[in-house]
Amino acid sequence: MSVCAVLLVLVVLPSAESSFRFASYYGDHMVLQKAPSKAVIWGYGEVGATVTVSLYKDLDTVSKKSVFINEPEAVWRVVLDPIDHGGPYQLVATQHYEGEITYIMLTDILFGDVWLCGGQSNMEMTVSQIFNASKELKKAVHYPNVRLFTAALETSPTELEDLAKVDLQWSLPTPENLGNGNFTYFSAVCWLFGRHLHRRLKYPIGLVESVWGGTPVEAWSSKRALSKCGLKPPECTMDEFYYAGPCTFSVLWNAMIHPLLNMTIKGAIWYQGEQNTATDTDLYNCTFPAMIEDWRQSFHEGSSGQTDQHFPFGFVQLSTNQKSKELDNFPIIRWHQTADYGFAPNPKMVNTFMAVAMDLGDERSPYGCIHPRDKQTVAYRLYLGARAIAYGDKISFRGPFPEKMDVDYSASYINITYDQEILVTPSNQSLFEVLCKNTMNDHGEDSVYWAPAALMSTLPRVVTVSFKQCAQISGIRYAWTDWPCEYKDCPIYSSNGRLPAPLFIKYIQQD
């Protein structure tokens, strides 16, 4: 039956007071997850009613599902048939209740891949705040099949079933909604990432933003996830003035993530961690992986198994904040972002990918040094990871990482063998340090400290560093500082693609 024929028998439109409606994040212009996954559609209606959800394309019925509304929730929910990428479609929900037929209709529906974008203020920065903003904003109209949605900033002490408020209902990209002020909507990193994917995949991309600046990972984690790291929901552990956003445990999970769990998604990207340089820093190697796994399981269950329970999860390893060498909370969080492996994916963080950003410092950023403006490079590095992990492309997406270290104590040098060919820049920096132990200081005690290690020579995959100033060493690390190098000028990159080598730290047992 055609959609026109259907509409002839539907006689009532829902009034403003009607309980029959879609959940908050369904609207005209939305993107639903394509096959092989199935999209979940849900909403509210009258207890005892029957709701039929029909999907149409070119006047033909593509999918049709019916459900009876039971007590007490008055919620209806269907799972559509798998739909390949493309569109546009029309979605009609029809309620039969006490002899009355009511319908609601959504138009211009596309099927593609849906990505969730989360985190704090560096994910929140809009296109108007980044380098070449006016040029980037002009490109928006050329990507009508990349669609945008933004959840409003809300907190809740309990888990909400639906969003309390929406800031940007599903929309086509425009200069207005991509450049809407500072730290509002829409996320520059999210948009640029989605644009890259669309250009590569040639089908629709849906981008769902749920972010809040100045927030710790604990606020985005469920009580269940936090309990795995020995945390119980308290009030904020620091002076409220320090936080730009809410910090009470689980309040953003409750209000801005839990309501989305029925949504079928392809994957997620995440830019957060700055707040945790001052909040439970030493636990981030537990709390961040625990949050990822909890989100995965929760979205899988919430979507009736349609979201992969190991869905790809990309994240940005922190950029820079201060050039002071006295503080090391930023490198600690960078290391903990990888569950202390130094790279992703890894055994504790499967199906993840990481964009290193420590070489993108922006000392002149008008939004503060902690908010670098080069979000294009961040998004592109995330995109490379997504291509490899989410889409299986055989491409380089990680910077070089050590796979072997050989220490020659007689000659006082270390050969560091990387897992790929490297490019060493002429920056005259080393960034290598050794944990030096020199016997007997002025007080008759051993002196242990981190000392610079000179970069002596390089081969296609090997770097040699010297520790001649040390009697003994018990560790080596690289780039272990808040602001390790100037813009795109760290010492070591991949030879193909110029992806920066991430920081590492390794303790050495002397024979």
What is the CATH classification number for the domain harbouring 77?
Answer: 2.20.130
Please report the pLDDT score of residue 117 as a whole number. Answer: 98
Last residue of one domain, picked from the residues 109, 124, 157: 109
Q: Tell me: do 53 and 103 sit in the same domain.
A: yes
Segments forming the whole domain that contains residue 490: 402-507
Please report the pLDDT score of residue 443 as a whole number. Answer: 64
Q: Tell me: do 147 and 158 sit in the same domain.
A: yes
Work out the angle between the directed axes of helices 284-302 and 329-336 (0-180°, nearest 10). Answer: 40
Q: Tell me: do 443 and 433 sit in the same domain.
A: yes
Q: Is residue 166 part of a domain?
A: yes
Q: Tell me: do 39 and 99 sit in the same domain.
A: yes
Q: Tell me: do 42 and 10 sit in the same domain.
A: yes
Q: Is residue 393 part of a domain?
A: no
Contact 67, 51 (CB under 8 A): yes
Q: How many domains are contained in the chain?
A: 3
Measuring CA to CA, how many Å separate 69 from each of 50, 65, 422? 6, 13, 61
Q: Tell me: do 149 and 263 sit in the same domain.
A: yes
Please report the pLDDT score of residue 69 as a whole number. Answer: 95
Beta strands in 80-165 (DSSP E): 86-97, 100-119, 146-151
Q: Is residue 257 part of a domain?
A: yes
pTM: 0.94
Q: Tell me: do 279 and 180 sit in the same domain.
A: yes
Q: Tell me: do 190 and 145 sit in the same domain.
A: yes
Residue 501 tokens read as 């080598």
Last residue of one domain, picked from the residues 93, 109, 125: 109
Give mean pLDDT in consecutive 10-residue pieces for the chain, a chain of 511 residues: 40 64 98 98 96 95 95 92 98 96 97 98 97 96 97 97 98 95 94 98 98 97 97 66 79 98 98 95 97 98 98 98 84 98 98 98 96 98 98 97 93 94 83 85 75 90 91 93 95 92 91 58
Q: Tell me: do 192 and 124 sit in the same domain.
A: yes
Contact 357, 483 (CB under 8 A): no
Please report the pLDDT score of residue 1 as a whole number. Answer: 40
Q: Tell me: do 84 and 154 sit in the same domain.
A: no
Q: Is residue 24 part of a domain?
A: yes
Q: Is residue 321 part of a domain?
A: yes
Q: Is residue 346 part of a domain?
A: no
What CATH number corresponds to the domain at position 123? Answer: 3.40.50
Q: Tell me: do 149 and 188 sit in the same domain.
A: yes
Q: Which strand ranges, in their side-by-side order, compose the sheet holding 472-478?
A: 447-452, 432-438, 472-478, 504-507
Q: Is residue 296 part of a domain?
A: yes
Q: Tell me: do 81 and 126 sit in the same domain.
A: no
Q: Is residue 342 part of a domain?
A: no
Last residue of one domain, picked from the residues 89, 109, 129: 109
